[in-house]
Amino acid sequence: MELNTLLQLLISGISMGAVYGLIALGYMSVFNSSGVINFAQGDYVMLGGLITAFLFHNIGLSYIYAAIIAMICTVIYGVLTGVLIIYPLKKAPVLILVIATLGISTFTQNTASLIFGRYPLSLPPLIKMKSLDVFGAKVSPQNIFIIIISVLILVLLSLITNHTMFGKAMQASSTDKLSAKLVGISPSTVVLASFAISAAVGSIGGIIIAPVFFTSYSVGTLLGLKGFVAGVIGGWGKTNGAFVGGLILGVIESLSVGFISSGYKDAIAFIVLIAILYFLPRGIFRSDAID
């Protein structure tokens, strides 16, 4: 394989891996505040991209206004489903919680297909520039844009988590809810905010990848599962690890297309998941969340 082809595969993998990382960050936001794994996370990505594309093509809104409305709608939906359905089941057996979140995902997808149609939609490129020449490889500016936005969101979430009162309240609520209440922290408010953050991050991921990949009502399931795999790779509960896990998964997928076959692209994620669970069950960053 030529160097320029390898470089193109790597950059493509990093950009897609950055989106997997964003989805994993959404998982971590909810998990670190409530201990709940929200398997409907991928549908926030679907809603962000699909609502934006629908408003852009069918209503005629500008890209930015369509994206803002899509993000607001996704956040409202995420908060409502999270607080009214998912969070009340936090003490239920894991199987019940998985079934509930998968049920929400199925409901969301079927409703989206009725509202927005069953045909894939796309968006024009956010960055209207010619492909960049990097050591002979043709790199799409949109891929660079995806990577930059994803890294900025990671930095912002890290700053919020580690250097703000809300971040400390989130950690306190996750560690000991009773003690958090005694010092004036409202765990329910923290959980509400964490669902809002996870939905916002997911919708941004959907908006920025829509110009590169077609979006439809059914894309959320596979993206959500890959985001989950990214979280496991990095170490469940580790915010930075989740993003790194997404990058690793994206690169492995992309290289598998070049070296093996595109037909194995989606299967690779679950092969990696099995390998990680077997050899590094705590993930690369050694999470203690699974104890």
pLDDT at 73: 96
As a whole number of angstroms, the distance between CA 129 and CA 143 comes to 12
**Is there a domain that residue 285 lies in?**
no
**Is there a domain that residue 174 lies in?**
yes
Long-range contacts of 159-165 (CB under 8 A, 24+ apart): 161/32, 161/239
**Is there a domain that residue 288 lies in?**
no
pLDDT at 290: 53
pLDDT at 47: 95
As a whole number of angstroms, the distance between CA 149 and CA 127 comes to 13
**pLDDT tens column, 49-79:** 999 999 999 998 998 999 999 999 999 999 9
**Is there a domain that residue 287 lies in?**
no
- For residue 126, what are the contacts with CB-CB under 8 A and spacing of at least 6? 63, 142, 145, 208, 211
Q: pLDDT band for position 291 (50/70/90)?
A: low
Q: Confirm if 154 and 25 have CB atoms less than 8 A apart.
A: yes
Per-residue pLDDT at 86 exceeds 90: no
Most confident of the following: 91-95, 187-191, 220-224, 269-273:
220-224
Q: pLDDT band for position 287 (50/70/90)?
A: low
Take residue 96 and report the two structure tokens written for it: 């019940």
- The SS3 of residue 121 is strand
pLDDT at 165: 82
pLDDT at 30: 87
Q: For residues 227 and 214, which has the higher predicted lDDT (pLDDT)?
A: 227
Take residue 89 and report the two structure tokens written for it: 């089941």
**Is there a domain that residue 290 lies in?**
no
Per-residue pLDDT at 252 exceeds 60: yes
pLDDT > 90 in the chain, percent = 37
**Is there a domain that residue 284 lies in?**
no
Q: What is the CATH number of the domain that holds 171?
A: 1.10.3470
- For residue 282, what are the contacts with CB-CB under 8 A and spacing of at least 6? 235, 288, 290
As a whole number of angstroms, the distance between CA 151 and CA 95 comes to 34
As a whole number of angstroms, the distance between CA 3 and CA 49 comes to 33
Per-residue pLDDT at 237 exceeds 90: no
pLDDT at 49: 94
Q: Amino acid identity, residue 129?
A: M
**Distances from the Cα of 192 to the Cα of 146, 157, 258, angstroms:** 27, 16, 42
Q: pLDDT band for position 267 (50/70/90)?
A: confident
pLDDT at 239: 81
What integer is the mean pLDDT of 197-217? 91
**Is there a domain that residue 89 lies in?**
yes
pLDDT at 43: 94
**pLDDT tens column, 97-128:** 888 888 999 999 999 999 998 888 888 887 77
The CA radius of gyration of the chain, in Å to the nearest whole number, is 19
Q: How many domains does the chain have?
A: 1
Per-residue pLDDT at 180 exceeds 90: no
Q: pLDDT band for position 1 (50/70/90)?
A: low
**Is there a domain that residue 199 lies in?**
yes
What integer is the mean pLDDT of 85-93? 80
Domain range enclosing 74: 3-279
As a whole number of angstroms, the distance between CA 143 and CA 14 comes to 8
Take residue 174 and report the two structure tokens written for it: 């996750």
b/e 264-288 (16+ beta carbons within 10 angstroms → b)? eeeebbeebbeebeeeeebbbbebe
